[in-house]
Structure 1
C-alpha cells in the first residue's frame, strides 16, 4: 500500500495562524501530541516559529516534488525540518534548502513557489478536501473507504489495513 500526501490547511491564508505560546497549542501539545509521539518513539519538538507558518508554499512545494517523483521524501523532509529542527516551513528559502537536499533543482523549485505555479492545483486539492472528503482535522488518513481523523491508536490503523486487504 502506498502513502500519498495531499495539501490541507487548517488555517489557510489570510486567516491568522496560532502562536506556539497560545494556551490552545500548549494544551494540545502537552496533553495529546507529545505523549502520543513519545509512545510511538517519534521525535517531535514544539516548533517555536511564532506565529506558526502558513503552509501554502510547503504544499505547493509538495506538488512540485510529486511531479518530480519525490513527494513522499519531500513530505518527510518538511515534517523533520518543522517538528525536529524548528525551521520555518513557510519560508521559500528554507523549503528550497529541503528541495536541494533531495536533489531537486533548487532554483527551479524556488521560482515555482515564488511565481505560485502550483497555487491553482493546491486550491483544487483544498476544495476537494473540504467539500468532497469532508476533512476538518489533521491528521486525516484514508485507507480504502475508511477515514481516520485525528490521533488514532495503532490498532485503528491495523484494523483499517486488514479490512482493506
Structure 2
C-alpha cells in the first residue's frame, strides 16, 4: 500500500525547492504519491514598512550553505520585493489537473530564483505554462477566474484550519509531520515505519 506525502510549499521559499530535491533524491515518488499543496506565506501582500525581501543574512548564512550541501544551485537572492504568489498557485491547480504540474512548478521556481522574473505577473505565468506544455489561453482564463480565486481561498483556509499549516515547507505523511527541509534519512525512516504499520492487519 502506497502512502501519500503531502508537501505544503510557496514559490518564494527556497527551502521548498530544497525539499523537492530531498524527496527526489530519496526516490520516494517512485512508490508513493507526493502531493504538492500551495500555501501562500503572505496572502495579504507585504505590508507597507514591512519585510520586502529576504531577511539580512538569511540567504548567505542559511539558504546557500544548505543548498550547497544538497546540490541545489542557488547563488544570489532574487532582487526586488517579495511577490504575491496567489496567481502562480491558481496556475498550479490548473497545471496539476492537466498533467503538467511538475513541469509548471519547476518552471515557476526557476523563473523566480534563477531568472529574476515576476511570478506575480499573469503574462509571465502564462508563458511558463506554455513552456510546460499547457494551453496558454485556457491557463490564463482559469488563473484569472473567480473560480480559481475561490478555490485558492478555500485551500488556504483548509491548510490553516484543518492541517494547522503556518509555515513552509511542511510535510505530513499520515500521523508524521515535520516543518522545514527534511533530513533524508529521517524521512525514509518515517516512510518505512508508516508503510510497515499500514500493512499490519487490523
TM range (shorter): 0.7 to 0.9
Residue 194 of structure 2: aligned partner: 164
Between structure 1 and structure 2, the one with the greater Rg is 2
Task: Return the offset for 1:15.
Answer: 4.5
Residue 27 of structure 2: aligned partner: none
SS of aligned partner of 1:141 = strand
Scaled by the length of structure 1, the TM-score of the pair is: 0.88
1:18 corresponds to which of 51, 58, 64: 51
Task: Return the offset for 1:109.
Answer: 1.0
2:156 is aligned with 1:126:
yes
Is there any run of 5+ residues in structure 1 with no aligned partner, and where? none
Q: How does 1:84-163 map to 2 (within 5 A)?
A: 84-163=114-193
- Per residue, is there more strand in 1 or in 2? 2
- Which whole-Å CA distance do the structure 2 matches of 1:136 and 1:159 have between them? 25
Residues 5 and 75, structure 1, Cα contact 8 Å, conserved in 2: no
Residue 52 of structure 1: aligned partner: 82
2:110 is aligned with 1:80:
yes
- Relative to structure 2, which stretch is displaced further, 68-77 or 119-128? 68-77
2:101 is aligned with 1:71:
yes
- Which whole-Å CA distance do the structure 2 matches of 1:56 and 1:89 have between them? 10
Higher relative contact order (CA 8 A, sep 6+): 2
Aligned length in residues: 161
SS of aligned partner of 2:115 = coil
The structure-2 alpha-carbon separation of the partners of 1:73 and 1:2, relative to structure 1 and needing over 3 Å to count, comes to farther
Is there any run of 5+ residues in structure 2 with no aligned partner, and where? 1-31, 196-202
Residue 35 of structure 2: aligned partner: 4
- Which whole-Å CA distance do the structure 1 matches of 2:70 and 2:176 have between them? 22
1:32 corresponds to which of 51, 62, 69: 62
CA RMSD of aligned residues (A): 1.8
- Which whole-Å CA distance do the structure 1 matches of 2:95 and 2:107 have between them? 11
